[in-house]
Chains A and B, each alone.
Chain A
Amino acid sequence: MLADLLTERTVRVGVEARDWQEVVDIAGRLLLEDGSIEPSYIDAMREVIQSLGPYVVIAPGVALLHGRPQHGVKRICMSLVVLKTPVKFGHPENDPVTLAFALGGVDERSHLDALAQLATLLSDEDAASRLRSAQTVEEVLEIIRSFDHAAGSDATT
């Protein structure tokens, strides 16, 4: 599941961004170019942070960007931007962010498996640290593929 969403089209490494707004733009544009979202979804992801604060920084160094399905998601999608220089989102404990995932769901259920696999991957400190220091997209995809298999059965129990 995760490996179907995070592909060479939706993963970028060594990315430089000035601020969190640019991180949202870059992660969102990957989904836009992949044909998974409308441009409005990028604004929606930014507005979630503006209105509710940087709670999207769900773990130290990790942001999970998202809006709502009705804000312009065409199909379940995810992108990952690995930042070269960590970027502050304004979160008191979990800043600065190195891994920014943008997630688009079409309802509240269908992307649960992908989210479960992502949680398993990120809770594995070794895998998370290899993701953070990945130099190539292929390295990232390899880590993700290994977790897609490892977490697949766990996610449905």
Chain B
Amino acid sequence: MGLGSGLLLRMQVEKVLKEANIPAKVEVMDISSARGSLLQADMVVTSSELAPQLGETKVPIITIHNFVDLNEMRSKVVPVAQSLHKG
């Protein structure tokens, strides 16, 4: 569903990663494609609603309640992205 919420989420993730100077490629995926592609992603950002549908994975999954709150986005996404970026 890369149209409403997905696009919005991508935009916000890109915004906080850019602020933190972390280069990243952010892609929007619907649930069924995300399940198959998870192994290629370093992290997944989704809503708390959809997270359970992703199933079991070793990739860190970050759940966001409020898609327009950049503080929530920053505090949840940046630390994980930073550790991935360094590692």
Q: Are A59 and B69 in contact (CB under 8 A)?
A: yes
Roughly how many angstroms separate A21 CA and B38 CA in the complex, as a whole number? 33
Roughly how many angstroms separate A129 CA and B69 CA in the complex, as a whole number? 14
Roughly how many angstroms separate A119 CA and B3 CA in the complex, as a whole number? 14
Q: Are A55 and B50 in contact (CB under 8 A)?
A: yes
Q: Are B4 and A92 in contact (CB under 8 A)?
A: no
* Chain B interface bracket (under 10, 10 to 19, 20 to 34, 35 or more): 20 to 34
Q: Are B11 and A55 in contact (CB under 8 A)?
A: no
B48 at the interface (CB under 8 A from A): yes
Main secondary structure of the interface of B (DSSP, over half): loop
A48 at the interface (CB under 8 A from B): yes
Smallest CB separation, B52 vs chain A (Å): 9
Chain A 55-67, CB within 8 Å of chain B: the 1/0 string? 1101110101111
A15 at the interface (CB under 8 A from B): no
Other A-B pairs beyond A66-B3, A112-B7, 18, CB < 8 Å: A53-B50, A55-B5, A55-B50, A58-B66, A58-B67, A60-B65, A60-B66, A62-B68, A66-B5, A69-B3, A92-B48, A94-B66, A103-B3, A108-B3, A119-B12, A119-B67, A119-B68, A123-B68
Closest 5 CB pairs of A and B: A66-B4, A55-B49, A58-B67, A122-B68, A123-B68
The interface of chain B, by Cβ under 8 A from chain A, is: 1-5, 7-8, 11-12, 28, 31, 47-50, 53, 65-70
